Structure formats: C-alpha cells, structure tokens
C-alpha cells in the first residue's frame, strides 16, 4: 500500500473543500435549513405526527439522506472528472500507485466530506426539532455505507462523463426525483396501496427507511432489507469500478 500517494490525493481533495467552504459546507446547510422552515413549519403545522413522531423530526433522516446522495455523487464525480479535463489523470495513472489506491483516495475523500456535511446537518436539525437517535450505531453505519456507496457511484459518473453538463444529468434527472419520491417527506403508509407497491421499486426508499429506523425505531421497510439493499448497491458499484480499471474505460483514451 502506497500510503504516501493515497494521503497526497486525499489531502488535496479535502483541501479543495475548505477552499470552497461556502459552496461545500455552508450552502448545503442553508438549503437544508430552508427545507425545515418550509416543510417543518408550513406543512408540519397541518400534520401533527407520523408514526408517533413530530413531522419536523420525521423528515430529518430523509433530508440528511437526500443531502448525502447528492453531495457524495457531486464530490466524487467532480473529483475524478477534473483531472481528466485538465489531463493530470495521466500523471496519476503513470505514478507508482495502484488502481485500488486511486479509488481509495478519491472515494475516501468524497465520502469523508459527505459524512462531515451529514453530521453538520444533523447538528443543525437539533436547533429546529426535538431530535432523538434511538440506534446511533446503526445511524453511523448507514451514514458511512451510503456515503461510500454513492461516492463510488459518483466516481463512475465522473469517469463516464465527457463534459461538465453530463456530471449533472444523472443527479438531477434520476437521483433527485427518486429521493423526493423515496419517502423523504412522507411515510409510505400515507399512500394508496397500489402506490405503496410501486414505491418499493425505488431503491432510495430502502436507504431512507433504514436510516429513519435508526432515529425513530420504525420504518416502511424492514431494516435488514434496507441494509441488504445498501450492501448490494455497494457491491455493484465496486464491480463496475473494477471493470473500468481493468478495461481502462475512458481513462486511457
């Protein structure tokens, strides 16, 4: 393991976050706070409780999850795309560092940033609602697994994209709609039976449900099913990145 090379890439990626602190940290916190104001105050005044929990506290896991998905993808995709755009990716590929170490550095940095923002949003939420976490270990487990999984997904998008506009296509047109329809702001029990069944085809439902269980102890989907789906997505992303490095897809051309 070339720890020096991994540290160099990891440190560079983390430094970029603190150079753009307004965009990287403050902006997600402000936008999430607005969600609390709009949904927590306006809609929460009309919905007293869901599963015995105040509406403001109910949406906290969903909001954190939505931020995790978008930030993990954007951090990892931009992190690997920019070296491709500037041509410095060839210096990385020719350096004495393995593909696994490259992946560890870029994905590790992106996941670290997402976990950090998720914890900041969690602390911010405590100012708006009476927040309790019934299973803190499970909460951190989901936080880490989902951050790593979607950082891998973002890494794949960054390699696939051949222009800046393509970096936003999948997050905006696929991930965000799935997040809004994945139980971020409501329980599946509030939907008609047919839509409950259709919603189970949305993979984000399992992520939000498992993460919410760690907070309030109830969920739309069994927590073990949620954890299993998360691990399956992680395994699929690892398999795709292994194929990319083995074939050199859009890295060596």
Asked, for residue 193, whether it belongs to a domain, the answer is yes
Whole-structure pTM value: 0.90
**Count of domains forming the chain:** 1
Average pLDDT over residues 90-100: 83
Asked, for residue 226, whether it belongs to a domain, the answer is yes
Of residues 126 and 157, more confidently modeled: 157
Find the farthest-apart pair of alpha carbons in the chain and give their distance in angstroms, rounded.
60
pLDDT in tens, 192-243: 889 888 888 999 999 999 999 999 888 889 999 999 999 999 999 999 999 9
Q: In whole angstroms, give the CA distance from residue 250 to residue 253.
A: 6
Average pLDDT over residues 86-111: 86
Q: What is the 3-state secondary structure (H, E, C) of the chain?
A: CCHHHHHHHHHHHHHHHHHCHHHHHHHHHHHHHHHHHHHHHHHCCCCCEECCEEHHHHCHHHHHHHHHHHHHHHHHHHHHHHHHHHCCHHHHHHCCCCHHHHHHHHHHHHHHHHHHHHHHHHHHHCCCCCCCCCCHHHHHHHHHHHHHHHHHHHHHHHHHCCCCCHHHHHHHHHHHHHHHCCCCCCCHHHCCHHHHHHHCCCHHHHHHHHHHHHHHCCCCCCHHHHHHHHHHHHHHHHHHHHHHHHHCCCCCC
Asked, for residue 252, whether it belongs to a domain, the answer is no
Asked, for residue 211, whether it belongs to a domain, the answer is yes
Asked, for residue 224, whether it belongs to a domain, the answer is yes
Identify which of 127, 3, 17 has the alpha carbon closest to the alpha carbon of residue 78: 17
> Above pLDDT 70, what percent of the chain?
94
* Element at 30 (helix H, strand E): helix 27-35
Asked, for residue 160, whether it belongs to a domain, the answer is yes
pLDDT in the model for residue 153: 95
Asked, for residue 253, whether it belongs to a domain, the answer is no
Residues, the chain, total?
A: 253
pLDDT in the model for residue 86: 81
Q: Which of 21-35, 121-135, 168-182, 234-248 has the lowest mean pLDDT?
A: 21-35
pLDDT in the model for residue 44: 60
Average pLDDT over residues 57-76: 88
Asked, for residue 172, whether it belongs to a domain, the answer is yes
pLDDT in the model for residue 42: 65
pLDDT at 130 exceeding the cut of 70: yes
Residue 146, domain extent: 3-247
pLDDT in tens, 138-188: 999 999 999 999 999 999 999 998 888 888 888 888 888 898 888 888 888
pLDDT in the model for residue 151: 94
pLDDT in tens, 31-52: 777 777 776 666 666 666 777 7
């Amino acid at each position: 393991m070339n720890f020096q090379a991994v540290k160099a890439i990891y440190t560079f990626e983390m430094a970029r976050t603190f150079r753009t602190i307004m965009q990287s940290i403050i902006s997600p916190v402000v936008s999430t706070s607005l969600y609390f104001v709009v949904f927590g105050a306006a809609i929460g005044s009309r919905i007293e409780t869901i599963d015995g929990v105040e509406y403001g506290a109910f949406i906290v896991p969903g909001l954190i999850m939505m931020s995790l998905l978008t930030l993990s993808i954007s951090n990892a995709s931009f992190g690997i795309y920019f070296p491709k755009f500037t041509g410095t990716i060839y210096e990385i590929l020719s350096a004495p560092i393995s593909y696994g170490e490259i992946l560890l550095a870029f994905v590790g940095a992106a996941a670290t940033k997402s976990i950090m923002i998720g914890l900041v949003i969690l602390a911010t939420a405590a100012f708006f609602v009476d927040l309790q976490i019934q299973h803190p270990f499970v909460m951190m487990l989901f936080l880490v697994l989902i951050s790593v999984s979607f950082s891998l997904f973002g890494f794949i998008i960054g390699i696939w994209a051949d222009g800046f506009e393509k970096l936003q296509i999948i997050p905006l047109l696929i991930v965000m709609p799935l997040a809004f329809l994945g139980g971020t702001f409501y329980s599946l029990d509030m939907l008609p039976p047919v839509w409950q069944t259709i919603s189970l085809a949305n993979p984000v439902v399992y992520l939000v449900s498992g993460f919410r269980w760690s907070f309030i102890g109830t969920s739309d989907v069994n927590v073990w099913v949620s954890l299993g789906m998360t691990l399956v997505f992680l395994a699929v992303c690892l398999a795709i990145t292994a194929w990319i490095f083995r074939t050199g897809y859009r890295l060596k051309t």
